[in-house]
Amino acid sequence: MKLLRNKLAVTVIVLSVSFLAIIIYSVKRDSSNPVTSGAGTALNPIQKAAYTLANKAKGGLDFFVNFSEVKQENEELKKKNIDLENKLIEYGSLKSENDRLRNMLDFKSQRSSYLYVGAYIVAKPDQNMLNGYIIDKGTKDGVAKDMVVIAPEGLVGKIVEADTNWSKVQTLINENFAAHGKVGTSEVSGIVRGYKNNDNEALAILDLLPINAVVNKGDVITTTGLGKLYPKDLRIGTVVSTEEDKIKVNKSAIIKPFVDFNKLEELYVVVPKDGNKTEIQYKD
């Protein structure tokens, strides 16, 4: 079978060379010679067929050359597209960071009576954000137990343990968390603590409100400053629904925190300038 294919290839090559020789010979002959003219005339169909095949071959070669160029251009465009996408992602990240810093600077300018220690989350105990975070700042950085922790969006929680190089943060979505909170600019207030709804979503609840308290969906919940454990008017979240307890004769407001605890990476520990490290109090 292999020998047959080789013979066929040799035959094709020989015939091609023969046709080419005849065509060249016929073109070079003097066209006035009747014999030659006759031969040329007889060969015209062969010349035409050979010319057509040559053009097709040339067209095929041009196609493959152009295809190679188009493929290369396509690869270059893909690379440029990837570069543009990366730049857009980088721009979005920088814009998000600038927005966070701007919000933080606004907060600092309004609360210049405190110092702010920036920190990054380095671990989550049991990989559960309900159990809090471990941050990379500790007592050597001025951080102490019971200090408040915030993000540009609002309240995160407080320090429950501080060591030399790290500290543990308890978040406001933890059921053991407690802080005085109020509804908007009103005098309606209660206790904020962690809460889970029927969908197991980590939220917060403003509990022990009077049964006749006016609380509407979308109302902003902030800290009251009572007890000097938290600075006044720290943003906590917005009301998503309310519940009434006819037996205890009180009302509760379910809160969606402003801070997205699933995406939280950096935060700030609020340090009183004249605070006693053994008894943290926030004075407005």
What average pLDDT does the segment 171-180 reach?
94
Local confidence band at 112 (pLDDT 50, 70, 90 cut-offs): confident
194 and 56 fall within a common domain: no
94 and 131 fall within a common domain: no
Q: Look up residue 48 and give its two tokens.
A: 């035409």
132 and 46 fall within a common domain: no
Q: What is the pLDDT of residue 283?
A: 78
* CATH classification at residue 170: 2.40.10.350
- Global pTM reads 0.63
Instruction: Assess whether pLDDT exceeds 90 at residue 144.
Output: yes
Q: What is the pLDDT of residue 190?
A: 95
Q: What is the pLDDT of residue 281?
A: 84
Beta bridge partners of 252: 243
6 and 83 fall within a common domain: yes
Whether residue 282 is contained in a domain is answered as: no
CA 30 vs CA 43, 58, 242: distances in Å? 15, 29, 108
The residue out of 110, 130, 164 marking a domain boundary is 110
Coil vs helix vs strand at 12: helix
Angle at 221 between CA 181 and CA 270, to 5 degrees: 70
Q: Which amino acid type is present at position 26?
A: S
How many CB atoms are closer than 10 A to CB 134? 17
Angle at 7 between CA 3 and CA 11, to 5 degrees: 170
100 and 177 fall within a common domain: no
What average pLDDT does the segment 89-98 reach?
60
Q: Look up residue 109 and give its two tokens.
A: 């300018």
25 and 80 fall within a common domain: yes
Q: What is the pLDDT of residue 194?
A: 95
Whether residue 284 is contained in a domain is answered as: no
Instruction: Assess whether pLDDT exceeds 70 at residue 201.
Output: yes
142 and 246 fall within a common domain: yes
29 and 144 fall within a common domain: no
36 and 133 fall within a common domain: no
91 and 135 fall within a common domain: no
Instruction: Return d(Cα 82, Cα 89) in angstroms, integer.
Output: 11
Q: What is the pLDDT of residue 100?
A: 60
Q: Across 114-118, 151-155, 220-224, which has the greatest mean pLDDT?
A: 220-224
Local confidence band at 138 (pLDDT 50, 70, 90 cut-offs): very high
DSSP characters for 120-187? EEEE-GGG-GGG-EEES--GGGT--TT-EEEETTEEEEEEEEE-SS-EEEEETTSTT--EEEEETTSS
Q: What is the dihedral of CA 175, 180, 185, 187, to 10 degrees?
A: 120
The residue out of 85, 110, 135 marking a domain boundary is 110
13 and 149 fall within a common domain: no
Coil vs helix vs strand at 43: helix
Whether residue 3 is contained in a domain is answered as: yes
**132 torsion bin: left (phi>0), alpha (psi -120 to 50), beta (else):** left
Number of domains present in the structure of the chain: 2
10 and 141 fall within a common domain: no
pLDDT in tens, 28-75: 554 444 444 444 444 455 555 555 555 554 455 455 556 567 777 777
Coil vs helix vs strand at 231: coil
pLDDT: which is higher, 9 or 256: 256
Beta bridge partners of 103: none
The residue out of 67, 87, 110 marking a domain boundary is 110
Contact between 183 and 215 under an 8 Å Cβ cutoff? The reply is yes
Mean pLDDT score across all residues of the chain: 77
- Domain range for residue 43? 1-110
The separation between CA 38 and the C-alpha centre of its own chain, rounded to angstroms, equals 80
Instruction: Return d(Cα 136, Cα 269) in angstroms, integer.
Output: 11
